[in-house]
Structure 1
Amino acid sequence: MRRPIARAATTALGLFAAAAGPLATAAPAAADSVVVGGQPARIADAPWVVALSSRDRFGGTRGGQFCGGVVVAPTRVVTAAHCLGREILGGEPWEVPDFKVIAGRSALRGEGGKEIRVVGTWVNPAYDAATNDGDLAVLTLASALPQSYVIATAATGDGAETPGTPATVYGWGDTTGNGTYASSLRSAPVQVLSDAACERAYPGVFGTAYRAGTMLCAGDPQGGKDACQGDSGGPLVAGGRLIGLVSWGSGCGQAENPGVYTRVSALLPSTLRPVTPVSPSARGW
């Protein structure tokens, strides 16, 4: 079994390496294809999907996209905590002068939609990069998105988390595992898997263990459908509600190693709150 690692870009050149630990450097997983087994998705059908962007850090070829995010309030976007790590951004979030989210745009270099500056971040204080536990962060936007962009979020015990429930994962991730990315949003149909299946897949023997309290996993029992490198922080949706954020996994699209997601119902109610300025001094933004 390959070491479980995160699914986010790490350098401006789109070059990727395995992490020294499961998530210690927030390196991406090897990829087979973008949102493995997926198809093009219309942003009009999923307006709550946004791209995290820094052209200064990641270049302009794909609008600077390096992770995904989800609109949960007009000025709030949730994403994976590891997307805000120094290994991804090259520093702290307030040190990235053009940190934005791209909303309402399927093609990253297309027209339309909005690019909105990130003015605040909040990283779950319980997030543990060594165990992947609590992999959630909240971004505050400089201006509000329409209410129609907001997706409902699952609450504790939501039936959308029931094993066997059809779900969909969205992203702009790597298409080959070699730094080749999709230019437009894609989605893939998966299903929620049981905690027992996820624990068997990730028992912690060769890397990070699955933790049912803060994680859930989804995939295809036959393999071939999954999130992948560059999709970190993007949404897993079931029953019209956000149930997970792309977090980590071993490889992509492997039946025996499903994708692991942050369990939104366990973390979001206590973390969606007014956040501190992205810079401690609130200067330069």
Structure 2
Amino acid sequence: MSRTVFCAMAGVFALVAATAAIPLGSPAAAVSDSIVIGGQPAHVKDSPWVVALSSRDRFGETRAGQFCGGVVVAPKKVLTAAHCLNREALGVDVGELRDLRVISGRDVLRGTGGQEAPVQAAWSNPGFDPTTNAGDLAVLTLADALPAKSVIPMAESGDAAYEPGTGAVVYGWGDTTGNSDYASSLRSAEVSVLPDSLCRQAYPGGRDGTYDASAMLCAGELLGGHDACQGDSGGPLVARGRLIGLVSWGNGCARVGSPGVYTRISAAIGWMPGGS
């Protein structure tokens, strides 16, 4: 059910992993214009805190090794989804991934410019439940600092950015149609923060997942058509200039009645080492 991980990758392992990462429900035909579903091109100069996670050893050169998204919350700290770093996703323990990097300052994954910062340490929330996706958070510590302008503030509990109806934007390099058509340049989609009651109705438990408002929030459009998809996991959901969520899971992509579910940042602040 994870909104997961993989993009178009080279090699047999990559193809098997990509298949395993597709959500349980096959995506319906998406209302899309070949951008992050229902979205538009985005530029890192306007959103410098959006980064791509990369391992060419595991996922090949085709998309510069991109397999998930992330967001810069301090010059040496990047948040992403815990499910991006588990063994099922990577094929190895994250500690064995010698070339794990964060690509920043680059719209096009195989373009020039920007910075590829090696990951010095990776922490995954020990409370993460891969069955329910609750607690879906990981923190990467970089070997090299990114520019201070790359940092986005995190929205704490009670922030107006979490209010239902608030306009938000989700970013990533993932599937643009729900049919494994992956982007090579950064995309964004405009969505709305949805009421917890609607999210619980969409995901009451069972095959389609269980929504937990203490750890999650959901966003999208009531009629579908605007959403994150495979390959966008760990990427940011931003409202009112603040980080409110990380792409986590959902039933398909851009489906009517199945909004995207995100790790709630106000809860994640408390899960992180040191609480920040």
Deviation of 1:92 after TM superposition, in Å, equals 1.1
- What's 1:145 paired with? 146
Calculate the TM-score normalised by the size of structure 1.
0.88
How many aligned residue pairs are there?
264
Where do 1:111-126 residues align within 5 Å?
111-126=112-127
TM-superposed CA distance for 1:176, in Å, is 4.2
- What is the CA-CA distance between 1:54 and the residue it aligns to? 0.5
**In the alignment, which residue of structure 1 is the partner of 2:223?**
222
Distance apart, 1:7 and its partner CA: 1.9
Identity of aligned residues (%): 60
Aligned to 1:17: 19
Cα drift, residue 128 of structure 1: 0.6
Aligned to 1:6: 3
- In 2, distance between residues paired with 1:267 and 1:151? 15
Q: Distance in 1 between matches of 2:114 and 2:89?
A: 25
Change (3 A) 1:274 1:64: farther
Please say which of residues 47-56 and 204-213 is displaced more in the overlay. Answer: 204-213
Q: Which amino acid aligns with 1:220?
A: E
Q: Which amino acid aligns with 1:210?
A: Y
Could you list the runs of 5+ residues in structure 2 that have no partner in the other structure?
A: none
**Is 2:97 the counterpart of 1:100?**
no
The match for 1:28 is 22
State the AA in 1 paired with 2:19.
A
Indicate the residue corresponding to 1:51 in structure 2: 52
Where does residue 23 of structure 1 map in the other structure? none
CA shift digits 1:198-229 (9 cap, x unpaired): 00000003242000000000001221000001
SS for the counterpart of 1:67 is strand
Q: 1:135 to 1:212 in 2, by over 3 A?
A: same
Letter in 2 for 1:185: L
How big is the shift at 1:272? 4.8
- Give the secondary-structure state (helix, strand or coil) at the position aligned to 1:6: coil
**Contact kept? 1:51, 1:68, Cα under 8 Å:** yes
Q: Residue in 2 aligned with 1:24?
A: none
Partners of 1:99 and 1:181 in 2: CA distance: 20
Aligned to 2:255: 254
Separation in 2, partners of 1:197, 1:204: 13
More displaced 10-residue stretch of structure 1: 39-48 or 206-215: 206-215
Instruction: Report how far residue 61 of structure 1 moved.
Output: 1.1
In structure 1, give the amino acid aligned to 2:67: F
For the residue of structure 2 that corresponds to 1:228, the secondary structure is coil
Question: Alignment RMSD, CA only?
Answer: 1.8
- Other structure's SS at 2:19 match: coil
Q: Is the contact between residue 69 and residue 78 of structure 1 (CA under 8 Å) also seen in structure 2? A: yes
- Displacement of 1:255 in angstroms is 2.3
**d(CA) in 2 for partners of 1:39 and 1:272?**
35
